[in-house]
Amino acid sequence: MRKARIVLTIILPLAVLAQEKTSIASENKTEFSEKMNAYHALWNAPEIAKRINDGIENNRKGDANIVVMDANGHPVKGVSLDIQQQKHAFLFGCNAFVLGQLESPERNRQYEETFTRIFNFATVPIYWKGTEPKQGALRYKEGCDDIWRRPPVDRFIPFARKYGLTLKAHPMLWHEHNPEWLPKDPEALKGLYRKRFKELADHYAKDITIWEVTNESSGCHKTYPLYSEDRAYVAWAFREVAPLFGDKNLLMINDFTCFNERLPADKTFYYKQISGLLKEGLRIQGIGLQFHLWFEPRLMEKHLSGERFQPERMIEAYKILSALGRPLYITEITVPTPADKDGEEMQAEVVKNLYRLWFSTPAMAGITYWNLGDSMAHDKENTAAAGLIDKDLKPKVSYRILDELINRDWKTRLILKTDDQGTTHFRGFQGTYTVRVKLADKEQVFEINLDKSTTTPNTLKLKPD
């Protein structure tokens, strides 16, 4: 009997503990369900859904008119046209910080294919600590010492050419990620910055279209040698950089996640800063906004509960920022995968809702996800499991959702016929199209470009047999 009593004293606490665990799990599941229900209600509200749907239709599509003529200039009626969108005008991007750095040629090939299937825009790392870790030892060319997430800049040029990507350099000047050998004297540091700016422009201005000149100046710490309360170094940097780049380059500023929702947006540090720079006549051609749902404690949870980054607040913030007259770019996106059995689905739903909102925004010109894979982030950021693919490079639900949006829902594919005047028209997403004109057993292929301002008909003149 003594043994039996001993066994019972062990078993009873375990049973109680199991009941407690079940109770806690049930409570957590209920709490989670309530949060997700609130999230669904917020983002699927009829007025929000209509604004987003209307925004996509009105801001991302254009009207195309096509006239098919024979070799003698006569209209060709009743001919079949196979119209296929090949490229987006809108920039969908990601950082490519691990290009060529994975464990095997096969994994590097898989990375490139996964990247370029959905993205037409790549961010290139030009952190000073990575491009010149030792003074005078520039890491621009292949063959330099390997640094994780800091491939040599030269590597990105053939990558972009091969896949038709637009490149963006990030960042030219930042108070973080700088080499230890930099001087503390402000004037000496400015002299080195001038050298750096010129080197970057001389090497890459013709191949890298978009340049982030400054980054996160609102959070600049006072120990940075160029710090001043008014961040005057930002205006100085744009004055120095602008003459080095031609008309085909776009120079932009970039700052924190909070400015996606702070209202009134025209009272924020960032708005006032940009407004002042523009009044000085400085070349600010793009406004960058990060969007990391990770760097503040429980930020993803707060977003799911509707406490942070509500769609109405974001729409209003972008409307006010667009009054500055410059395109907006979401430059760095981190959406964690919650540690839940449905975590991937949760991440995917957040990604889908955010991308639809951003794509619908009139002033928005590009969206950049930050780290493609779960193991490709910086240091502790990997704990967020915020990649679109997992550690084995397999697409997560969020990647498949973006693939559907970018390559199916937001691409136009049509089969049309010309009328008696040899004309046809369609409304489609802005970008580059191939038009296959099918005549009997032959076809001729043309390329047209559709943007919102297109008014001139596309005349397709057939070659003689």
Give the separation between CA 380 and CA 389, rounded to whole angstroms: 18
Share of the chain above pLDDT 90, in %: 88
pLDDT digits (tens, 9 = 90+) for 271-317: 999 999 999 999 999 999 999 999 888 999 999 999 999 999 999 99
Mark whether 371 and 451 lie in a shared domain: no
Locate the DSSP E strands across 105-239.
121-125, 166-170, 210-215
3 occurs within a structural domain: no
CATH of the domain at 287: 3.20.20.80
Q: Is the pLDDT confidence value at 98 over 80?
A: yes
333 occurs within a structural domain: yes
CATH of the domain at 431: 2.60.40.1120
Give the separation between CA 336 and CA 351, rounded to whole angstroms: 10
Beta-bridge mates of residue 62: 428
- Tokens matching residue 306: 């509707």
Mark whether 358 and 430 lie in a shared domain: no
Mark whether 444 and 356 lie in a shared domain: no
Mark whether 322 and 457 lie in a shared domain: no
Residue of 293, 311, 333 whose CA lies nearest to 121:
333
Arithmetic mean of pLDDT, 382-398: 97
Cα 378–chain centre separation: 17
Mark whether 94 and 133 lie in a shared domain: yes
Contact 316, 271 (CB under 8 A): no
Strand ordering across the sheet containing 80-88: 413-417, 80-88, 431-439, 442-450
Which DSSP helix (H) or strand (E) runs through 203? helix 186-204
98 occurs within a structural domain: yes
Sequence-ordered list of residues with C-beta below 8 angstroms from that of 187, at least 6 positions apart, any chain: none
Q: Is the pLDDT confidence value at 25 over 70?
A: no
102 occurs within a structural domain: yes
261 occurs within a structural domain: yes
Residue of 86, 168, 210 whose CA lies nearest to 369:
168
Mark whether 207 and 285 lie in a shared domain: yes
How many separate helices (H) and strands (E) can be counted in the chain? 12, 15
Arithmetic mean of pLDDT, 68-83: 96
Mark whether 125 and 75 lie in a shared domain: no
Q: Is the pLDDT confidence value at 19 over 80?
A: no
Sequence-ordered list of residues with C-beta below 8 angstroms from that of 246, at least 6 positions apart, any chain: 205
Q: What per-residue confidence (pLDDT) applies to 14?
A: 37
Contact 380, 392 (CB under 8 A): no
Which of 378, 402, 426 is the endpoint of a domain? Answer: 402
Mark whether 276 and 248 lie in a shared domain: yes
Share of the chain above pLDDT 70, in %: 92
pLDDT digits (tens, 9 = 90+) for 136-172: 999 999 999 999 999 999 999 999 999 999 999 999 9
Distance in Å from the first CA to the final CA of the chain: 104
Residue of 139, 294, 282, 136 whose CA lies nearest to 214:
282
- For residue 442, give its domain range: 64-84+412-461
Mark whether 123 and 236 lie in a shared domain: yes
Predicted TM-score (pTM) of this structure = 0.92
Which DSSP helix (H) or strand (E) runs through 358? helix 343-360
Categorize the per-residue pLDDT at 18 as very low, low, confident or very high, splitting at 50, 70 and 90: very low
Which of 358, 382, 402 is the endpoint of a domain? Answer: 402
Contact 88, 120 (CB under 8 A): yes
37 occurs within a structural domain: no
Whole-number mean pLDDT of the chain?
93
pLDDT digits (tens, 9 = 90+) for 227-258: 999 999 999 999 999 999 999 999 999 999 99
Which of 402, 434, 453 is the endpoint of a domain? Answer: 402
The number of distinct structural domains making up the chain is 2
Mark whether 268 and 310 lie in a shared domain: yes
Q: How many CB atoms lie within 10 A of CB 147?
A: 16
Mark whether 77 and 96 lie in a shared domain: no
Q: What per-residue confidence (pLDDT) applies to 1?
A: 37
Arithmetic mean of pLDDT, 169-177: 98
Mark whether 251 and 347 lie in a shared domain: yes
pLDDT digits (tens, 9 = 90+) for 184-233: 999 999 999 999 999 999 999 999 999 999 999 999 999 999 999 999 99
50 occurs within a structural domain: no
Q: Is the pLDDT confidence value at 4 over 80?
A: no
Residue of 297, 360, 375, 299 whose CA lies nearest to 330:
360
Output the DSSP codes for 368-412: EES-SBTT-SSGGGGGG---SB-TTS-B-HHHHHHHHIIIIITS-
28 occurs within a structural domain: no
Residue of 329, 410, 352, 429 whose CA lies nearest to 121:
329
Q: What per-residue confidence (pLDDT) applies to 31?
A: 54
pLDDT digits (tens, 9 = 90+) for 329-346: 999 999 999 998 899 999
Give the separation between CA 246 and CA 129, rounded to whole angstroms: 26
Cα 349–chain centre separation: 17
